[in-house]
Amino acid sequence: MPSTRKILITGADGFIGSHLTEHLVRAGHDVRAFVLYNSFNSWGWLDRTRSDIRHALDVFAGDVRDPNGVRKAVEGCDVVLHLAALIAIPYSYHSPDTYVDTNIKGTLNVVQAARDSGARVVHTSTSEVYGTARTAPISEHHPLQGQSPYSASKIGADQIALSFHLSFGTAVSVLRPFNTYGPRQSARAVIPSIVTQIAKGQRTIKLGALHPTRDFNYVTDTVRAFEAVMNSEAAIGQVLNAGSGFEISIGDTAKVIAETMGADIRIETEQARLRPEKSEVERLVADARRLHELTGWTPEYGGPDGFRRGIAQTVQWFTEPANLAAYKTDIYNI
């Protein structure tokens, strides 16, 4: 396997995608960054990356819903890291059709182009496809439960990707990260929502349900998981969980953040932030042994100590004035 390859990253303008793009450029790879076309010529978070990284990028502006654009983007690439997706669960209640178009049809476009070109694909799944844990920790054999239109669309996307491996021999791996957090994450996610509310002086913090538990992955661990899967021949045709193995409730997460920021807070449950009762995923905690066995990946931010280190680094980034200014804490972001 060559040490440097031409790598296409869809969703390179987003939270995880921008970190992954930077990491692979620093590693010496030739990276084509697929960003969502817009009239502002914005490259999302890549607009804020170092100039030497921006200048090293081959930027492709398009839309994964367009098969012709995707085919053009994949041309000449050895690997496609497919992260482009609609991911906000509340918005999937509002506009489910867009999730089918972007997540399912977009993935079909990617694997079809990869099949024709011979590129390898690492497709991004989500722990949400498991729904509330029936057994814990959750292995890749856990049943799939579409408890939101978002998770249903990702189940469909995963199955489309895997079907191309089984039907046509396309080199597809499915990476299933549990809840990733860190610098640049959207305020629609719980950790940035808590951090930004406290950072802007609020002491009554508005949240949804406090009892559900999550397995939070610091973003650099997720990035390393993509790299590990991309470099592993044994990972082809596999579904692989990436998680810290540490489980914590939303309420306790808020307490860790408040302690880190030295703030005395009160939590208020806001009705608009609650999922429909049967749609709430009550418990997520990863069994990531298969990823370790096939690639050697282990989380650097695992366990309670790793979580606190990751939260401290996240808080440091969000509390920088230029970063905090980009977030609207006075409204609920769906």
Tens of pLDDT, residues 143-181: 999 999 999 999 999 999 999 999 999 999 999 999 999
pLDDT of residue 3: 61
Q: Would the pLDDT of 333 be above 90? A: no
- Both structure tokens of 53: 């990284």
Q: Which residue has the tokens 């280190």?
A: 309
Residue 126 backbone dihedrals phi, psi, to 5 degrees: -155, 150
Stated pTM of the model: 0.97
| Long-range pairs, 147-152, Cβ under 8 A, ≥24 | 147/278, 147/279, 147/280, 147/281, 148/89, 148/92, 148/93, 148/275, 148/279, 149/92, 149/93, 149/96, 149/99, 150/86, 150/87, 150/88, 150/89, 150/92, 150/99, 150/103, 151/89, 151/126, 151/281
Judge whether residue 1 has pLDDT over 70. no
CA distance 103 to 84: 8
Q: Are 46 and 21 in contact (CB under 8 A)?
A: yes
Query: pLDDT per residue over 6-57, tens digit each?
Result: 999 999 999 999 999 999 999 999 999 999 999 999 999 999 999 999 999 9
DSSP classification of residue 138:
B
Above 80 in pLDDT, residue 267? yes
> Is the pLDDT confidence value at 2 over 70?
no
pLDDT digits (tens, 9 = 90+) for 50-95: 999 999 999 999 999 999 999 999 999 999 999 999 999 999 999 9
Say if residues 27 and 53 touch (Cβ distance below 8 Å).
no
CB 170 within 8 A of CB 226: no
pLDDT tens-digit series, residues 178-212: 999 999 999 989 999 999 999 999 999 999 999 99
Sorted by sequence, the CB contacts under 8 Å of residue 102 that are 6+ apart come out as 64, 65, 84, 85, 86, 153
User: What domains sit in the chain, N to C, each tagged with a CATH number?
Assistant: 6-249+259-324 (3.40.50.720)
- According to the model, what pLDDT value does residue 22 have? 98
189: Cβ–Cβ under 8 A, 6 or more apart, which residues?
179, 181
Contact 217, 242 (CB under 8 A): yes
DSSP assigned state of 276: P
Give the chain's mean pLDDT.
96
CB atoms under 10 Å from CB of 303, counted, come to 12
Instruction: Dump the DSSP string for 154-192.
Output: HHHHHHHHHHHHHHH---EEEEEE--EESTT--TTSHHH
AA letter at 220: T
Alpha carbon distance 31, 80 (integer Å):
10
